[in-house]
A = this chain, B = another copy of it.
Amino acid sequence: MSTAEKTFSKGLEGVIAAQTEMSFINGTEGILEYVGIAIGDLASKSSFEETVFLLWNKRLPTKPELEQFTADLRSHYTLCDEMVTQIKSCPIKAEPMHVIRSMISMCAMYDENPNENSVEAARHKSMRILAVAPAIVAAFDRHRRGLEIVKADPSLNFASNFLYMLNGEKPTDAMVRAFDICMITHADHGLNNSTFAARVVISTLSDLYSAMTAAIGSLRGPLHGGANEGVMKMLNKIDSVETAEAHVMGMIKNKERIMGFGHRVYKAKDPRASELMTLAKQLAEDTGNMDLYNKSHAIEKIMEREYASKGIYPNVDFYSATTYHCIGLKLDLFTPMFVLARIAGWAGHVIEQLEDNRLFRPTTDYIGPHNAPYTPIEKR
C-alpha cells in the first residue's frame, strides 16, 4: 500500500493529479502565472490569441507565428451548414450551457476523423473547437431571440467576431478590449474541476470532443463556472448602493452564501479579480452602469471589513459579472463566456495529457458489506 493509498483526501484536495507547464497558482500570495508570465502583464499587454499560443506552445510567438496562428483560427470561425441546422433544432427554452455541451459533442459527427489523437491532430481539433464555439453560442442566442444568424467575420479578432455575431453590429473598442481581457484571465487555471474532467476523459485515449464535452458539463455547475451567474442574481436583488450594507449583513446573519467571494485555491486576493475590477469600472462608466459597479464595490468593502482576516476576498466571478452585464450579455450567457475562454486551457491540458498519458483510475474506500448471500426473492 502506497503512502497515497492510506490518505483519503475528499475532493482530492492537495493531491497532485498531473504535471503542467501552463499555469502556476500561488493561492497564499495571490499569484497566477501562465508559463511564468504574471496574469496582470498578460491582461494589460497581450491578446487572447497570443495567450492561447503561449499556453499551447509554452512560449510567446514571434510576429509571423502570431499572424499564422491568428489566420488559422479565423479560417475556422464559420459554422458548417449542418451545425447551423442542428443549432436551430434546439428548443429555444433550453439553457445555453446544455446547448453548447450538446453542440460541441455533435461537432464530432461532422469531423471526418474525430478520434485522431496524435498531438498534431489534437492541436488542429483544438483550434477548430476554439474557433467555432463562439459561433455556436451566438447562433443559438440569435435563434432563440428569433433573429437571423450572423455569419462570422474572419477579418475580426476572436473577441470582436464573437460580439459581432451575437449583436449583429461591430462592438466598441472598449467592449472588445474588456471581453478580450475576460478571455485572457479565464483561459487557464491549473487543475480546476473542468480541466481535470477533460484530462480524466482524454486519458482513456477517447477524443477531443469527448474531453471538451465533459469539461463543459463540469463548468456549468454552480460550484464552478456557474458561480458567475450567481453573482449577477445577487446584485440584481440589491436595490441600490444605500441598501447594500443592510442586504449583505442580513445574508451573513442568515448564513447565506455571498456569491463571488472566497475560492478553494486563493486565500489572498484572486489576482484575476484585480484586473477585472479596473476593467469593470471603466466599462460601467462607458455604458451607464455605474450603479451596478458601485453596488459591487460596496459589497467588496463590506466583505473586506468582515472577512479579510479570514482570507475571503472577491474571486474572478465577482467582477466578471459586472463586465459581462455591461457588454450586454444575458445572464445565462455568462457561463458560456467562461467556456469560450477555458477551451484554451482544456485543450492545452488535453495535449499535455496525450504527450505523456497514463489512464486515470483511482481507487475507492469500500464501506459496504462483504460475503453477503443472494437471498431468494420469496425469502426477503
B-contact bits for A335-372, CB 8 A (1 contact / 0 none): 00000000000000000000000111111111111111
Q: Indicate whether A361 sits within 8 Å of B11 (C-beta atoms), given known contacts A101-B210, A193-B200, A366-B24.
A: yes
Give complex CA distance A61, B105 in Å: 37
Q: Are A220 and B193 in contact (CB under 8 A)?
A: no
**What is the CB-to-nearest-CB distance from A289 to chain B, in angstroms, rounded to a whole number?**
28
Q: Are B226 and A204 in contact (CB under 8 A)?
A: yes
Q: Indicate whether A24 sits within 8 Å of B105 (C-beta atoms), given known contacts A206-B217, A363-B15.
A: no
B-contact bits for A156-193, CB 8 A (1 contact / 0 none): 00000000000000000000000000000000001111
Q: Are B36 and A14 in contact (CB under 8 A)?
A: no
> Which of A2-10, A126-134, A253-261, A278-286 is the interface stretch?
A2-10
Residues of B contacting A246 with CB < 8 Å?
none
> Which of A39-47, A292-300, A307-315 is the interface stretch?
A39-47
Closest to A265 in B: B361
**What is the CB-to-nearest-CB distance from A258 to chain B, in angstroms, rounded to a whole number?**
17
Q: Which of B22, B222, B372 contacts A204 (CB 8 A)?
A: B222
Q: Which of B206, B211, B220 contacts A210 (CB 8 A)?
A: B220
Number of interface residues of A (CB under 8 A): 115
Residues of B contacting A109 with CB < 8 Å?
90-91, 94, 98-99, 102
Closest to A66 in B: B377
Residues of B contacting A320 with CB < 8 Å?
none
Give complex CA distance A204, B196 in Å: 12
Give complex CA distance A287, B70 in Å: 58
Q: Are B2 and A193 in contact (CB under 8 A)?
A: no
**What is the CB-to-nearest-CB distance from A348 to chain B, in angstroms, rounded to a whole number?**
11
Q: Are B196 and A200 in contact (CB under 8 A)?
A: yes
Q: Which of B38, B106, B204 contacts A193 (CB 8 A)?
A: B204
> Which of A71-79, A81-89, A146-154, A266-274 is the interface stretch?
A81-89
Give complex CA distance A376, B66 in Å: 13
Q: Are B7 and A360 in contact (CB under 8 A)?
A: no
